[in-house]
């Protein structure tokens, strides 16, 4: 149960999303500097984003519930775990934290390394369509939020902090990373996208991630939790 004021919770969400975005997007720049192979880049990106999210969720869970993702906040609202006001405030602060992280990343690293990878913006592979990208993001986000419910929301959940949630991101990224960048988080995508100007397919990550979130909320929030 979270008892902090909405202001403190919003700040925690902004800081947590800042952590995720700075580390996750920064890992893309790092792999470019290292001239890593495709397989190495995939592994580094998956681990960086998964570990960063595990840390961010664990650090903010007792303050704000550790959403760190507008799609998670939407799912919790749909499952009647948070109010509409809280979900909107969280979403605004999550996007703000991601934008600040991407801006500071751009200020602190040379452009010749960040520009080629659009400062860590998840992007669609040219080999897949918009529809396929939306479907893949929806499936990966469903898996992520199903794990959120199963490891953090359900009262029967094991007390493992953000570890399981971070593992879900890592697992998803190992599958979807080469195709969509495996954002599973609209804030994680739109922050670097705005800073880099890479906005061509931004809506894929809002539509797909919100669809996945809604399905997860219905299945776990209204079927599993309501009939335990």
Please list, residue by residue across 45-69, b when 16 or more beta carbons sit within 10 angstroms of its beta carbon and e when fewer do: bbbbbbbbbbbbbbbbbebbbbbbb
Please tell me the predicted confidence (pLDDT) of residue 23.
Answer: 98
Report yes or no: 136 and 177 within 8 Å, Cβ to Cβ. no
pLDDT, mean of each 10-residue run, the chain (228 residues): 82 98 96 87 95 97 96 97 97 98 97 96 96 98 97 89 95 97 98 96 97 97 77
Burial (CB count within 10 angstroms: exposed 0-12, middle 13-18, buried 19+), residue 96: middle
Q: Is residue 14 packed enough to be buried (19+ CB in 10 Å), middle (13-18) or exposed (0-12)?
A: buried
**pTM reported for the whole predicted model:** 0.94
Q: How many helices and strands in the chain, by DSSP H and E?
A: 9, 0
The confidence score (pLDDT) of residue 2 equals: 53
User: Which structural domains are found in the chain, ordered by start?
Assistant: 6-227 (1.20.1080.10)
pLDDT of residue 227: 56
State the pLDDT at residue 201: 95
Cα torsion angle, 212, 58, 6, 150, sign = positive
pLDDT of residue 4: 81
Q: Is 82 helix (H, G, I), strand (E, B) or coil?
A: coil
């Amino acid at each position: 149960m979270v008892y902090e004021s909405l202001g403190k919770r919003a700040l925690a969400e902004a800081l947590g999303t800042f952590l995720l975005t700075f580390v996750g997007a920064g890992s893309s720049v790092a792999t470019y500097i290292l001239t890593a192979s495709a397989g190495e880049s995939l592994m580094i990106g998956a681990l960086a984003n998964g570990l960063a999210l595990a840390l961010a969720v664990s650090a903010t869970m007792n303050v704000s519930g550790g959403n760190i993702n507008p799609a998670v906040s939407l799912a919790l609202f749909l499952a009647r775990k948070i109010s509409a006001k809280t979900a909107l405030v969280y979403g605004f602060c999550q996007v703000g934290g991601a934008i600040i992280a991407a801006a500071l990343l751009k200020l602190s690293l040379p452009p010749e390394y960040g520009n080629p990878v659009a400062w860590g913006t998840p992007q669609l592979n040219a080999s897949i369509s918009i529809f396929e990208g939306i479907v893949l993001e929806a499936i990966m986000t469903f898996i992520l939020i199903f794990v959120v419910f199963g490891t953090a929301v359900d009262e029967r959940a094991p007390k493992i902090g953000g570890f399981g949630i971070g593992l879900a991101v890592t697992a998803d990224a190992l599958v979807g990373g080469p195709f969509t960048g495996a954002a599973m988080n609209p804030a994680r995508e739109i922050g670097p996208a705005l800073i880099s100007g890479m906005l061509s397919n931004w809506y894929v990550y809002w539509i797909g991630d919100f669809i996945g979130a809604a399905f997860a909320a219905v299945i776990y929030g209204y079927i599993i939790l309501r009939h335990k």
